[in-house]
Amino acid sequence: MKVLAWPAFENKTGNPYTRLLYESMEAETDAQVEDITLRRALTGSHDIWHVHWPDDFLSYPSLPTAMTYVAAELALFAWARAWGARLVWTVHDLGPHESPHPGLERVFWRLFLPMVDGVLTLSEVAAQKALQRFPTLRSVPRAVVPHGHYRPAYPDPVPRPEARRALGVPPQARLVVYVGRIRPYKNVGRLLRTFREWDDDTARLRVAGNPVSETVRDEILGRAAGDDRIRTDLRFIEPEELTTVLGAADLVVLPYGHILQSGTALLALSFDRPVLVPSRGAMGELQAEVGAAWVRTYEDTLTADTLAAAMDWAEAARRPARAPLRDRAWPRLARQTEQLYRRVRRAHA
């Protein structure tokens, strides 16, 4: 089976999710996977087109630019289907996190959804929400294939004492870490404000990640200023550096304003670090899977009391040395994905 994926292997500096999936798929199944290029897109020689974030272009600030890219991708999808390829969509989110062009977004969904031949979601909650928002997906083959863990993509975490020496964190400090891309919906500004309200001289906060804009960068720096317990590292964090940042952490906090699922939560668990997340989207499902010793949720708004209680939990909860992520091993997920491809092909035989 020939698969054209967008993206597949060439996402070298971003989320390694797709690379891990397709490397396992080529090892475990008979699928042959290629990254999308214009030449490959026009050949008409692929059985499956697998797309992950087709709505990303809707976030472009320039309306003419967004319209150009959206029109191009929709035309390519239509071309591929005319030549017999089937379009499979993994629903990572229910829409773009920033959508400056609501009219264009409405047109995109109206044209894109009828072309979807199969759908994958990363959780049962995501499946329910996707079918509620996009009822046309009820008529196509679909499957839940969870987000895999990141252990194959990174070295083991740096031992805690060594990691703390490298970062200049006192050995007895209670270190809260935020890692990942910093975007408005992720509420990192709220985390900084809340942390400053936490009256604990031993507490430390490290924010490591690349802001999506200069406005967001300025907000983070402004909220961090004046509190010596806070350190920021506002850039893309290389994989080998993540092993140090997460190796030093007592608790990873992801204070997202809205969340369906979280690759960063899986990243923290892949490094065997406990996580605090809002009780939204699939986070309850993740907690039920890996256990309440690894994932703690909170309702409504993050507060200083919530942070303090979560740190007490992170330090006191009894948990094994490694987070239980067996069900998120990539070979298993690759086989499940390929099974969905085959169902889609049979449905159009």
Contact between 169 and 248 under an 8 Å Cβ cutoff? The reply is: yes
Written as six digits, the tokens of 298 are: 């909170």
Q: What is the pLDDT of residue 157?
A: 84
Kindly report the average pLDDT of the chain as a whole number.
94
- Is pLDDT of 109 > 60? yes
- Which pTM value belongs to this model? 0.92
State residue 10's pLDDT score. 81
Which CATH number does the domain 2-148+329-347 belong to among 3.40.50.300, 2.60.40.1120, 3.40.50.2000, 3.90.1150.10?
3.40.50.2000
CATH of 151-327, one of 3.20.10.10, 3.20.20.30, 3.40.50.2000, 3.90.480.10: 3.40.50.2000
Q: What is the pLDDT of residues 17-71, one digit of tens each?
A: 999 999 999 999 999 999 999 999 998 789 999 999 999 999 999 999 999 999 9
pLDDT of the residue at 105: 95
Fold match flag (2-148+329-347 vs 151-327): yes
pLDDT at 74 over 80: yes
Residue 12 has pLDDT above 80, yes or no: no
Domain ranges of the chain: 2-148+329-347, 151-327
With a cut of 70, say whether residue 13 has pLDDT above it: no
Q: Is the pLDDT of residue 349 over 80?
A: no
Query: What's the mean pLDDT in 89-113?
Result: 92
- Give per-residue pLDDT as tens, 137-173: 999 999 999 999 999 999 888 899 999 999 999 999 9
Rounded distance between C-alpha atoms, residue 332 and residue 329, angstroms: 6
**Percent of all residues in the chain with a pLDDT value above 70, rounded to a whole number:** 99
Contact in structure between 210 and 238 (CB atoms under 8 Å): no
Reported as a pLDDT band with limits 50, 70 and 90, residue 348 is confident
